[in-house]
Amino acid sequence: MKLAIIGTGYVGLITGACFAEFGYHTVCIDKDENRVKELNNSKCPFYEPGVDALLDKHLNKTKLLSFSNSLSKSLNDADIIFITVGTPSKRIEGEADLSFVYDVAEEISNNIGKYCIVVTKSTVPVGTTKEVKNIISKKIDEKDFDVVSNPEFLREGSAINDFMRPDRVVIGCDNKKSEDIMRELYRPLYLLETPIISTTVESAEIIKYASNSFLATKISFINQVADLCEKVGADVQDVAKGMGIDKRIGNKFLHAGPGYGGSCFPKDVKAFIKTAQKHDVDMSILSSVDAFNEERINKITNKFFSKANLKKGDQISLLGLSFKPNTDDVRDSTSLKIAKLLQDQGIVIKSYDPEAMDNAKKENTELQLCNSAYEACVDTKAIIIGTEWNEFRALDFLKIRGSSKNLVIFDLRNIYNAKEITDLGFQYFGTGK
């Protein structure tokens, strides 16, 4: 079975590398010539644990993986074609921009050489896959291809494991032929007894948006509970533990913090709301989630000013710039949003992140980037722990105290014990405590 992946962004590259690991001949296609050149030299354009090893293995040893700029050469003999291009939010409307998906569908219609399955793996609103079919069918007889929705559920920082050991595989199709081929594609997962959910195309598309939106709702809910805990003297971590033991609730995504960010949750929540509005369906719960998350950054920033007695010209430390650990992705990073609000009020930000500083600098040129967490804490008035990287979990606070006038620590991710930090002479403020 030969696979073609259109798009070498995060989803496309992970998908291609993992399918090669399954043993399939896989070509990943991108119009960016420089990116393709670097990928063919085993240079990954982003940080993700485990990807470099897969690239080296399947580019240089097994030869199962390749990268190309040519759609015509790559698609002609492909059995399955995956669309993995971006679906960013339109800035004003908030709905998903599907122009890249539809442009690719048009290109596919010009380059199909035999019967194949065209798969939308990008996160797309309901109805998109059928529109892809409509576009292709203008030039290709419908008996010569099928369309399938096969949404991805990859988490940045653990994407390889998520692909190799998924909770489920969702296949949205409208005939048994395409379903059987897709089930065969995922046969390597059968030994793991991975649930394969076969459903309609429309249901598959909604499953992805509904899943991400529900997780975003859980995050916003526990953050609201955290606000209440701060008011009444409760500890949100104890509350979350007590809730999460209940199997009906579960303990995942009950970690209070500055709110959700990244490349998926913010845009997917907004797109799902827009989809509901188009079909005259009330999605007020999700609208509240979106509004609360947007406002949370302002609330947290105001808390910094009041607790740390900040004034114009003060220096503070910001540890963690990526939206989550184990990635260099800074898209919709809560840390960067907080940094910008503080900078707007005249605060100088000294920052450090293990992997994301280059990307962060592109987004915020006024950040002072440091070579270590300790360097970032020299001569600062307060420390903000914005991302829970492992190397921030065992900081030497005696060393920090000796090099800084810093007395205030804002632990947005609750990775430290408050008493241990206050016993060292610091003021400590967690989230929901």
Question: Is 264 marked active-site?
Answer: yes
Quote the CA–CA distance of 406 and 49 in Å, as a whole number: 34
Burial of 194 (0-12, 13-18, 19+ CB in 10 A): middle
- Count Cβ atoms below 10 Å from residue 141 Cβ, excluding itself: 9
Q: Three-state SS string across the chain, please?
A: CEEEEECCCHHHHHHHHHHHHHCCEEEEECCCHHHHHHHHCCCCCCCCCCHHHHHHHHHHCCCCEEEECCHHHHHCCCCEEEECCCCCECCCCCCECCHHHHHHHHHHHCCCCCCEEEEECCCCCCCHHHHHHHHHHCCCCHHHEEEEECCCCCCCCCHHHHHHCCCCEEEECCCHHHHHHHHHHCHHHHHHCCCEEEECHHHHHHHHHHHHHHHHHHHHHHHHHHHHHHHHCCCHHHHHHHHHCCCCCCCCCCCCCCCCCCCCHHHHHHHHHHHHHHCCCCCHHHHHHHHHHHHHHHHHHHHHHHHHCCCCCCEEEEECCCCCCCCCCCCCCHHHHHHHHHHHCCCEEEEECCCCHHHHHHHCCCCEECCCHHHHCCCCCEEEECCCCHHHCCCCHHHHHHHCCCCEEEECCCCCCHHHHHCCCCEEECCCC
- Cβ atoms of 150 and 172 closer than 8 Å: yes
* 401 Cβ contact partners less than 8 Å away, ≥ 6 residues apart: 424, 425, 426
Roughly what angle, to the nearest 10 degrees, separates helices 10-22 and 51-60?
A: 50
Q: Choose among 127, 78, 132: nearest CA to 103.
A: 132
Q: Of 18, 116, 264, 370, which residue is the catalytic one?
A: 264
Quote the CA–CA distance of 382 and 399 in Å, as a whole number: 15
Radius of gyration of the chain (CA): 23
Residues identified as active-site: 264
